[in-house]
């Protein structure tokens, strides 16, 4: 962080440091194995993490053996992940990922590709969109990408930073102004999610917000 350029907007790194001071290291992604990261990322789509945790527990026996999960009938898989909601579509999405994963013998180490190429390959899998692809890139392959999710969008907008309308533009903007470091980007996303869940929710709790003193929103109602 020493040779940081001068034409960067330092509000991003400042926000990161403030959040880090408040919440501390987050130890993300909450999963025992890289494969579990992928399953969690699919299951949590538009769903609360609490509901995903039960599905993860029921899937545990399969999570260290992706091949066994691939052998399960999709209907059985769907029942196991019922608590995560959208369980039929999500079962299809997990199956689609497993079909892709099979060509690498279910081993992430065999996926040797640069970040951009891998992103495009992941995006071709049905059910892996921008956010899920970036979660996999960052938390499985340690590719330095910013996860431009809804929490980040909401927090930045309220904070006073202009946010481009599309996912990709938003991602690239943050990646320009923030260090391209997988460890810091890992922590940044985790901190934004924690902050988003706790205070900067759809209906924000600004009165109790620990960073209200540096946030623009306190002036705008």
Partner DNA sequence: GTCCCGAGTA
Partner DNA sequence: TACTCTGGAC
Segment (H or E) for 170: helix 167-177
Distances (CA, A) of 87 to 31, 53, 80, 132: 20, 14, 9, 17
Closest to DNA by CB, 117 or 202: 202
130 binds DNA (CB under 7 A): yes
Residue selected from 56, 145, 193, 215 as contacting DNA according to rule CB under 7 A: 193
102 binds DNA (CB under 7 A): no
- Minimum distance of DNA from residue 27's CB (angstroms): 11
Strand residues in the chain grouped as ranges (E): none
Sign of the C-alpha dihedral, residues 95, 97, 99, 101?
negative
Residue selected from 56, 80, 133, 155 as contacting DNA according to rule CB under 7 A: 133
29 binds DNA (CB under 7 A): yes
186 binds DNA (CB under 7 A): no
Residue selected from 197, 205, 214, 216 as contacting DNA according to rule CB under 7 A: 197
Closest by alpha carbon to 158, among 124, 188, 125, 199? 199
Closest to DNA by CB, 9 or 184: 184
Choices 1-9, 16-24, 112-120, 130-138; region in contact with DNA by CB under 7 A: 130-138
Segment (H or E) for 175: helix 167-177
Distances (CA, A) of 184 to 12, 38, 55, 63, 197: 12, 20, 29, 27, 20
Please give the size of the binding site for DNA, defined by CB under 7 A: 41
Exposure letters 134-168 (e unless 16+ CB within 10 A, then b): bbbbbbbbebbbbbbbebbbbbbebbebebeeebe
158 binds DNA (CB under 7 A): no
100 binds DNA (CB under 7 A): no
208 binds DNA (CB under 7 A): no
Residue selected from 35, 101, 151, 178 as contacting DNA according to rule CB under 7 A: 151
Residue selected from 89, 111, 182, 206 as contacting DNA according to rule CB under 7 A: 89
The residues that touch DNA, with contacts defined as CB under 7 A, are 28-30, 44-51, 54, 82-89, 125-133, 135, 147, 149-151, 190, 193, 196-197, 201-203
């Amino acid at each position: 962080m020493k040779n940081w350029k001068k034409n960067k907007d330092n509000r991003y790194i400042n926000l990161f440091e403030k959040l880090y001071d408040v919440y501390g290291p987050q130890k993300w992604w909450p999963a025992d194995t890289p494969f579990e990261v992928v399953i969690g990322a699919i299951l949590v789509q538009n769903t609360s993490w609490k509901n995903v945790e039960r599905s993860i527990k029921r899937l545990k026996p399969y999570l260290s053996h992706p091949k066994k999960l691939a052998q399960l009938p999709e209907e059985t898989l769907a029942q196991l992940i019922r608590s995560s909601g959208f369980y039929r579509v999500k079962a299809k999405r997990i199956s689609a990922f497993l079909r892709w994963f099979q060509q690498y013998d279910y081993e992430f180490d065999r996926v040797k590709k640069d970040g951009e190429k891998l992103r495009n390959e992941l995006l071709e899998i049905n059910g892996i969109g921008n956010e899920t692809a970036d979660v996999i890139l960052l938390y499985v392959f340690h590719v330095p990408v910013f996860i431009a999710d809804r929490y980040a969008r909401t927090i930045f907008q309220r904070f006073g930073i202009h946010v481009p309308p599309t996912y990709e533009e938003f991602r690239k903007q943050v990646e320009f102004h923030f260090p391209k470091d997988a460890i810091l980007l890992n922590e940044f996303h985790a901190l934004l999610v924690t902050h988003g869940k706790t205070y900067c929710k759809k209906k924000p709790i600004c009165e109790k917000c620990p960073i209200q003193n540096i946030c623009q929103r306190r002036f705008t109602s």
